[in-house]
């Protein structure tokens, strides 16, 4: 039996994570960390912190090079984090030591891990927004269509004052509308770049 239902061929479909689950795979984590390294180099090159030629080479390589999670598993086990092994593999794959020496300039492993997580959370929020909009639209359509369909309301599992199925659907949609309204503030106030 797998250690997690998400890794189990037998049980994985009971808890299908869909597109959001792919954002939190090992491959996605590595891809996001490489994107952070590339963006860091690009900015540092534009500011003259590292040579612009190195910055351009690092940025381009961060978009092109693929690092297999299994290839850095031993290093991750030794270091407790994946960044040292990722950097060693990335630098080797660049095959340009004169440029690769400037990879990760001034950053910590935690900076890369945290910022890469923010990139993936930004995408997860976009997926959540798409889902919320679809659910709200379906609830709104149902609320309009069934606004006059009577039904008993419920309180403590018992019948209460009559209501309509449309009113129930509208009530289910209200907190989702609130959540949708708060997404922009969440994006602006919580998705931080780390560089310490």
Of 106, 131, 150, the last residue of a domain is 106
Of 85, 106, 127, the last residue of a domain is 106
Tell whether 148 and 129 lie within a shared domain: yes
- Model confidence at 11, in pLDDT bands (50, 70, 90)? confident
Does the residue 111 lie in any domain? no
Query: What are 147-157's pLDDT values in tens digits?
Result: 999 999 988 88
Number of Cβ within 10 Å of residue 84's Cβ equals 16
Does the residue 58 lie in any domain? yes
Instruction: Check residue 136 and give its pLDDT.
Output: 98
Q: What is the average pLDDT across 13-38?
A: 92
- Model confidence at 18, in pLDDT bands (50, 70, 90)? confident
Which residues form the domain of 54?
5-106
Q: Does the structure show a pLDDT above 90 at 21? A: no
List all residues 6 or more positions away from 100 whose beta carbon is below 8 Å from its beta carbon. Answer: 58, 90, 91, 94
- Model confidence at 4, in pLDDT bands (50, 70, 90)? confident
């Amino acid at each position: 039996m797998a250690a997690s239902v998400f890794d189990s061929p037998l049980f994985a479909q009971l808890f299908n994570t869909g597109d959001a689950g792919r954002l939190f795979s090992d491959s996605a984590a590595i891809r996001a960390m490489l994107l952070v390294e590339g963006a860091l180099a690009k900015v540092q090159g534009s500011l003259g912190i590292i040579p612009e030629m190195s910055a351009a080479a690092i940025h381009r390589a961060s978009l092109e090079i693929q690092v297999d999670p299994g290839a850095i598993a031993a290093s991750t086990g030794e270091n407790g984090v994946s960044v040292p092994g990722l950097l060693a593999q990335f630098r080797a794959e660049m095959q340009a030591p004169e440029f690769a020496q400037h990879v990760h300039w001034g950053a910590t492993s935690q900076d890369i891990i945290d910022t890469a997580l923010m990139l993936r959370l930004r995408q997860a929020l976009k997926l959540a927004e798409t889902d919320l909009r679809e659910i709200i639209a379906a609830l709104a359509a149902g609320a309009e269509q069934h606004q006059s369909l009577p039904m008993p309301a419920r309180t403590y599992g018992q019948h209460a004052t009559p209501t309509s199925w449309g009113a129930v659907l509208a009530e289910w949609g209200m907190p989702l509308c609130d959540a949708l309204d708060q997404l922009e503030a969440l994006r602006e106030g919580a998705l931080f770049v780390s560089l310490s």
